[in-house]
Amino acid sequence: MAQRGIREWDAKRLIVDNIDFPLTHDMALIRPHSDIDEIRKEHSFLSGKLVAKPDMLVGKRGKHNLVLLNKDFDECVEWVKKKRSGPVRIGPAKGELTHFLIEPFVPHEQEYYVAIQAERDADVIFISDQGGVDVEANWDKVKEIRVPVDELLKEEQVLEVLKQPVIAKFAAALHKVFADLDFVYLEINPIVLVGDKVHMLDMVAKLDDTAAYRSKEKWDGVAFPAAFGSTTTPEERYINELDSKTGASLKLKVLNPEGRVWTMVAGGGASVVYADTIVDLGFGEEMANYGEYSGDPNQELTYEYAKTVLDLMTRHPGKPKVLLIGGGIANFTDVAKTFTGIIMALKDYREKLIENQVSIFVRRGGPNYKEGLERMEDTGKVLGVPVHVYGPETHMTRIISMALGG
Amino acid sequence: MNDYDLYDKNTQAIIYGSQVNAVQRMLDFDYLCGREKPSVAAIVNPNRESLVKVFFSQHEIMVPEYKSLEKAAAEHPEAHVMINFSSFRSAFATSKEALETDSIKVVVIIAEGIPERDTRKLIALAKKNGKTIVGPATVGGIKAGGFKIGNTAGKIDNIIASKLFRPGSVGVVSKSGGLSNEIYNIVALNADGINEGVAIGGDRWPGSDYLDHLLRYETNPDIKFMVALGEIGGRDEYEIIDAIKAKKITKPLIMWVSGTCAKMFSSGVQFGHAGAASGADEESAQAKNQALREAGVIVPNSFDDFGEKVKETYERLKAEGAIKEEELPSVPKFPVPLKEALSTGMVRKPTSFTCTISDDRGDEPVYAGYTISEILEKGWGIGDVISLLWFKRPLPEFATKFFELVIVVSADHGPAVSGAHNATVTARAGKDMVSALASGLLTIGPRFGGAINDAAIYFKEAVDRGLTAKEFVTEMKDKGINIPGIGHRVKSVQNPDKRVEILSDYAKKNFPSTEYLDFARKVEALTTEKRNNLILNVDGCIAVVFLDLLASGNVFSESESREIVKLGYLNGFFVVARSIGMIGHIMDQYRLKKGLYRHPTDDILYDVQKMD
């Protein structure tokens, strides 16, 4: 739960639907299974000159040759087909392009820049009459207006720094949408005027997804796509689903399915420290997953979480593997209780654990940790799986070097 | 209280939310620290107003629980901290109310998942009103030896192990609640323990941040050096660096920024905390660690050698004379909660009650070893349930069907009998159903219904002693006792009681032996010679057939049979059966809306002595 990027298509739709400003915006989203003929029938603007670009949280599309300008719809469809024919590398990320945004091509001269960024005590409005691809180079021309968190941007404030009444009116209306819909970041670059009509040509937006409980209706089915190149596996989706249904927290990211080092760490902070230490010790390439469970999850949840991890880690027998069941000294989580779910899962996977030559290292403190550790140790003996247990007297991350022979 | 403290040994808090466990943990800490007053003044629970019992030392005290913060604050103006356990949905409204309450100076917000805009509004409000927020998304903080927020630092064993019951020389700030507790332990293992620690919470916009607390620690003369754990994302560390450059922070600071592994992830990963996302390069853990190191902060090489840096710094300050090692005060002997001691097998406790018939502690109730699912699967009925709960064993079908037969024939005997009459009169007096039923049931005794048990006692004794029917009748006559179970007000030899026929026919047909019934019939033959209404009545018939049931097969031993008769089981059948009828009569009166009954005076002979 945090700040999440949304598609340009969703962002523009939300703004058009909610803004108190005369604004229309023609656009069509081509999804993986969209019927091209249906789309053609639905949108009359597609008979004109168009712009096409992928809509999947990819930045700097112009520089990566991912914007098609001033073409007709058939040419756009051809281009889209070509772009989605195989994996594409953008910066460090590699993935498939699946969603494309088609909009009218708008010839224009002056390009404006409007962005809003949520900061601790204010929403900061960045505004410039020298927008476009070179806005960063011209950053000294960008004006900054700080609007305290419980106030709204006024037209007059904009006019003081940029003498363009339409843009000023639009910016004020835009900030109201930003505040009402729990946006945390919004950047329109460029925004152009044709006569008095505003055109939002390119947009990046983020919503605060913790507001979902009260903004769901206003968001009207908005999607939170994963970052480009980061595909979600069914197991990750399953854990996401469990996470969304409980007050506790469950997270799982598979990094290298054939890695030797698997973790099941309690706590949002501790899990990062474990991952750091694995990388520091030179086992980054062998680190199979990142994940955490916290907030006192019940026995059923820890059982499901542990089963998912154990299933993933026992799919590729070969090199011996280690499982780090780590964590700090819990404040209030009953360690023995959360271990009960994990122990149930270990019993289910006994044969596979042996087949995969898994050894388990446990380090944990907190309420009833002694009982929890004893039960883990006993389980290891019963199952015939090597289990080594440590309490608060052992430094939290020491089990990593013990397990990996560092 | 000192300016640099948010709370101390005398601070009292209001807890928002029904969190008795957290309150108990705070009070346990209080006791270890030797606090005079408990650290919790009141609880706010929108659903209930009451007094909550918790232990303060060995003894229980009552903490008042109010329905509103307004009332709690009015009654306890000295409580200046509110610890808010409300959910992420309501935390904004309740925290806002607290920040607007004059007597509350510090608001701790536990909930995770509050929308950022709401948190930012709270931060603005706190700033305007000159108040401090700790959290959201935190477990809280702790002033060693003084005041502990909610569930911070867990249970007593950890508080003792991490030396949190008295102040040390180190100030700690971290985002993570779990890791803060870990660091308190590291500091206790490698130095003299913490003086104060705060977990500011994992959200993007903590209500108070690293610098706010480090600056407090800077002015606290008891804090000799500081430890902080940073996290990937955000720019807080650069604010700390600016403060060091401006000489606002001069005490030694050990800090490590976690998240150095992020370079392994090709696309952005959202770590466990909402604020922990890799953004710009300068927000990376490596960049921040490097910048801190350059600013003169003591930065370990990894989390692994955090403890060594703490030890080095502590030893250095001790050598310089800045820190004097003090002996740990003795810890009062802490009573183990009974529940905990029992669960670990440390103690044993005699029980006050015993139950040998049923067990409700499992997934479903168990009656004498049979779960209710099993009972239903077997198609057992009310007669079998009576067997299990009254006799602690399943009985053969001829017995359980007999129980059901007794219930059917005894369920009602019209409105005129004394039990139904009393129930009816009580119902008509406007009393509730249970009172009316009780009034009817209380009529059951030696003359109404209770004759069954007496009949069983006499007939059993007679048969067991080997008396003939004639000897028995004579003996009873000599003693001047009417034989219970013999005689009827209306029925007679010529006008037999149909119920008696049904019951004895059933016994004759289904029971292995009817020795007692046969004996009773012989007695009846003698008594009806004298008067034709001295027949075996329904009470007597139930009694003797029941005696035959006890003697049948090898289900009950002789001593069990005797005990069953003596304990009055037989009245139980009548009570169960007749309750059905009485409830019917009571409901009938309610349905008919019958008013209060008053007996006509012309039906009463008034024969009161007249005074001269």
Preferred mutation among B25, B142, B156, B261 to probe A, highest tally of A CBs within 10 A: B261
The CA distance from A44 to A48, in Å, is 8
Question: Is B326 a domain residue?
Answer: no
Q: Return left, alpha or beta for B385; rule: phi > 0 is left, psi -120 to 50 is alpha, else beta.
A: alpha
pLDDT, tens only, B338-381: 887 887 788 888 889 999 999 999 889 999 999 999 999 999 99
- Position B267 scores a pLDDT of 53
Q: How far apart are the first and last CA of chain A?
A: 35
What's this model's pTM, rounded to 2 decimal places?
Answer: 0.83
Phi and psi for B328 in degrees, rounded to 5? Answer: -70, 135
What's the rounded mean pLDDT across residues A81-110? 91
The CA distance from B288 to B232, in Å, is 8
Residue B215: CB atoms within 10 A of its CB come to 15
CB contacts of B185 in chain A (<8 Å) are 329, 365, 392
Amino acid letter, A312: L
Answer whether B267 sits within 8 Å of A93, measured CB to CB. Answer: yes
Tell me which residue in A208, A210, A332 faces B151 most closely, judged by beta carbons: A332
In a shared domain, residues B383 and B417? no
- Position B145 scores a pLDDT of 96
| Residue percentage of chain A with pLDDT more than 70 | 100
The answer on pLDDT for A1 being more than 60 is no
CB contacts of B138 in chain A (<8 Å) are none
Distance from CA of B203 to the nearest CA of A (A): 8
Question: Is B345 a domain residue?
Answer: no
Closest CA to B573 of B426, B433, B389, B423: B389
pLDDT, tens only, A23-45: 999 999 999 999 999 999 999 99
Reduced 3-state DSSP string for B10-43: CCCEEEECCCHHHHHHHHHHHHHHCCCCCCEEEE
- Position B57 scores a pLDDT of 84
- Position A325 scores a pLDDT of 97
- Position B275 scores a pLDDT of 58
Distance from CA of B126 to the nearest CA of A (A): 11
Q: Return left, alpha or beta for B142; rule: phi > 0 is left, psi -120 to 50 is alpha, else beta.
A: beta
The CA distance from A319 to A260, in Å, is 7
What's the rounded mean pLDDT across residues B173-198? 95
Distance from CA of A153 to the nearest CA of B (A): 15
Identify the closest residue of chain B to A213 by CA–CA distance.
Answer: B89
In a shared domain, residues B244 and B307? yes
The answer on pLDDT for B268 being more than 60 is no
Distance from CA of A214 to the nearest CA of B (A): 9
CB contacts of A270 in chain B (<8 Å) are 176, 178-179, 182
Query: What confidence category does residue A248 fall into, taking pLDDT thresholds of 50, 70 and 90?
Result: confident
- Least confident segment among A256-260, A400-404, B492-496: B492-496
Phi and psi for A18 in degrees, rounded to 5? Answer: -115, -10
Tell me which residue in B124, B158, B232 faces A329 most closely, judged by beta carbons: B158
Query: What confidence category does residue A332 fall into, taking pLDDT thresholds of 50, 70 and 90?
Result: confident
Tell me which residue in B158, B177, B274 faces A1 most closely, judged by beta carbons: B274
Could you give the residue numbers annotated as active site of B?
273
Answer whether B178 sits within 8 Å of A329, measured CB to CB. Answer: yes
- Position A341 scores a pLDDT of 95
Closest CA to B83 of B8, B149, B155, B146: B149
In a shared domain, residues B366 and B271? no
* B207-211, B266-270, B495-499, range with greatest mean pLDDT: B207-211
Query: What confidence category does residue B279 fall into, taking pLDDT thresholds of 50, 70 and 90?
Result: low
DSSP-derived letter for residue B162 is: T
Query: What confidence category does residue B276 fall into, taking pLDDT thresholds of 50, 70 and 90?
Result: low
- Return the structure tokens found at A151: 């106030």
**For chain A, which domains are there?**
25-104 (3.30.1490.20), 112-219 (3.30.470.20), 234-403 (3.40.50.261)
The kind and range of the H/E element at A17 are helix A8-18
pLDDT, tens only, B190-225: 999 999 999 999 899 999 999 999 999 999 999 999
Distance from CA of B120 to the nearest CA of A (A): 6
Answer whether B270 sits within 8 Å of A2, measured CB to CB. Answer: yes
In a shared domain, residues B28 and B154? yes
In a shared domain, residues B448 and B381? no
Identify the closest residue of chain A to B124 by CA–CA distance.
Answer: A121
The CA distance from A3 to B165, in Å, is 39
Query: What confidence category does residue B241 fall into, taking pLDDT thresholds of 50, 70 and 90?
Result: very high
- CATH number of the domain bearing residue B97: 3.40.50.261
DSSP-derived letter for residue A275 is: H
- Position A63 scores a pLDDT of 82
Question: Is B391 a domain residue?
Answer: yes
- Split into its structural domains, chain B has a count of 3
Where is the domain boundary, B319, B337, B370?
Answer: B319
In a shared domain, residues B151 and B257? yes
Where is the domain boundary, B342, B375, B409?
Answer: B409
Answer whether A94 sits within 8 Å of B266, measured CB to CB. Answer: yes
DSSP-derived letter for residue B357 is: S
Amino acid letter, B608: V
In a shared domain, residues B313 and B369? no
Q: Give Cβ neighbours of residue A89 (< 8 Å, ≥ 6 apart).
A: none
Answer whether A332 sits within 8 Å of B232, measured CB to CB. Answer: no
Q: How distant, in Å, are the alpha carbons of B583, B591, B601 from that of B597?
A: 18, 15, 12
Identify the closest residue of chain B to A371 by CA–CA distance.
Answer: B344
pLDDT, tens only, B428-444: 999 999 999 999 999 99
pLDDT, tens only, B83-130: 999 999 999 999 999 999 999 999 999 998 899 999 999 999 999 999
Three-state DSSP class for A70? strand
Answer whether B186 sits within 8 Å of A395, measured CB to CB. Answer: yes
- CATH number of the domain bearing residue B578: 1.10.230.10
CB contacts of A364 in chain B (<8 Å) are none
Question: Is B145 a domain residue?
Answer: yes
- Position B274 scores a pLDDT of 57
Strand order in the sheet with B50-56: B50-56, B59-66, B40-44, B13-16, B81-84, B106-109, B132-134
Where is the domain boundary, B409, B430, B445?
Answer: B409
pLDDT, tens only, B4-46: 999 999 999 999 999 999 999 999 999 999 999 999 999 999 9
Tell me which residue in B155, B266, B274 faces A92 most closely, judged by beta carbons: B266
Residue B270 structural domain: 13-319
Answer whether B229 sits within 8 Å of A269, measured CB to CB. Answer: yes
The kind and range of the H/E element at B180 are helix B177-190
What's the rounded mean pLDDT across residues B504-509? 96
CB contacts of A210 in chain B (<8 Å) are 88, 113-116, 274
The answer on pLDDT for A406 being more than 60 is no
The answer on pLDDT for A356 being more than 70 is yes
pLDDT, tens only, B287-326: 999 999 999 999 999 898 999 999 999 999 999 999 998 8
Q: Give Cβ neighbours of residue B383 (< 8 Å, ≥ 6 apart).
A: B395, B399, B400, B401, B402, B403, B404
Query: What confidence category does residue B234 fall into, taking pLDDT thresholds of 50, 70 and 90?
Result: confident
Answer whether B178 sits within 8 Å of A328, measured CB to CB. Answer: yes
Bridge pairing between strands B194-199 and B225-231: unpaired
Q: Say which residue the tokens 């363009």 belong to.
A: A164
- The pLDDT mean for chain B works out to 93
The CA distance from B562 to B543, in Å, is 13
The answer on pLDDT for B331 being more than 90 is no
- Position A181 scores a pLDDT of 97
Query: What confidence category does residue B270 fall into, taking pLDDT thresholds of 50, 70 and 90?
Result: low
Identify the closest residue of chain A to B25 by CA–CA distance.
Answer: A332
Phi and psi for B356 in degrees, rounded to 5? Answer: -120, 10
| Residue percentage of chain B with pLDDT more than 90 | 81
CA B328 to chain centroid, in Å, comes to 38
Tell me which residue in B155, B202, B302 faces A268 most closely, judged by beta carbons: B202
Answer whether B112 sits within 8 Å of A295, measured CB to CB. Answer: yes
The answer on pLDDT for A87 being more than 80 is yes
Tell me which residue in B113, B116, B302 faces A280 most closely, judged by beta carbons: B302
DSSP-derived letter for residue A318 is: S
Question: Is B341 a domain residue?
Answer: no
Three-state DSSP class for A267? coil
The answer on pLDDT for B278 being more than 70 is no
Answer whether B154 sits within 8 Å of A332, measured CB to CB. Answer: yes
Question: Is B598 a domain residue?
Answer: no
pLDDT, tens only, B530-582: 999 999 999 999 999 999 999 987 889 989 999 999 998 988 999 999 999 99
Q: Give Cβ neighbours of residue B190 (< 8 Å, ≥ 6 apart).
A: B307, B308, B310, B311, B314
| Residue percentage of chain B with pLDDT more than 70 | 98
Distance from CA of B207 to the nearest CA of A (A): 9
Answer whether B176 sits within 8 Å of A267, measured CB to CB. Answer: yes
Distance from CA of A218 to the nearest CA of B (A): 15
CB contacts of A329 in chain B (<8 Å) are 154, 158, 162, 178, 181-182, 185
In a shared domain, residues B85 and B179? yes
Answer whether A270 sits within 8 Å of B178, measured CB to CB. Answer: yes
Question: Is B2 a domain residue?
Answer: no
Answer whether B261 sits within 8 Å of A272, measured CB to CB. Answer: yes
CB contacts of B25 in chain A (<8 Å) are 332
In a shared domain, residues B429 and B405? no
The CA distance from B16 to B73, in Å, is 11
Q: Say which residue the tokens 């070969």 belong to.
A: A318
Tell me which residue in B152, B153, B178 faces A269 most closely, judged by beta carbons: B178
DSSP-derived letter for residue B113 is: -
In a shared domain, residues B257 and B405? no
What's the rounded mean pLDDT across residues B509-513? 93
In a shared domain, residues B78 and B172? yes
Identify the closest residue of chain A to B229 by CA–CA distance.
Answer: A269
CB contacts of B181 in chain A (<8 Å) are 328-331, 365-366
Q: How distant, in Å, are the alpha carbons of B63, B299, B481, B520, B544 from that of B528?
A: 74, 109, 16, 12, 18
In a shared domain, residues B387 and B467? no
The answer on pLDDT for B407 being more than 90 is yes
Tell me which residue in A210, A279, A365 faces B261 most closely, judged by beta carbons: A279
Distance from CA of B276 to the nearest CA of A (A): 9
- Position B273 scores a pLDDT of 62
Q: How distant, in Å, are the alpha carbons of A272, A286, A387, B41, B261 from that of A403?
A: 18, 13, 11, 48, 18
- The pLDDT mean for chain A works out to 93
Question: Is B604 a domain residue?
Answer: no
CB contacts of A218 in chain B (<8 Å) are none
CA angle A157, A158, A164 (to 5 degrees): 140
- Position B373 scores a pLDDT of 96
pLDDT, tens only, A286-319: 999 999 998 888 889 999 999 999 999 999 999 9
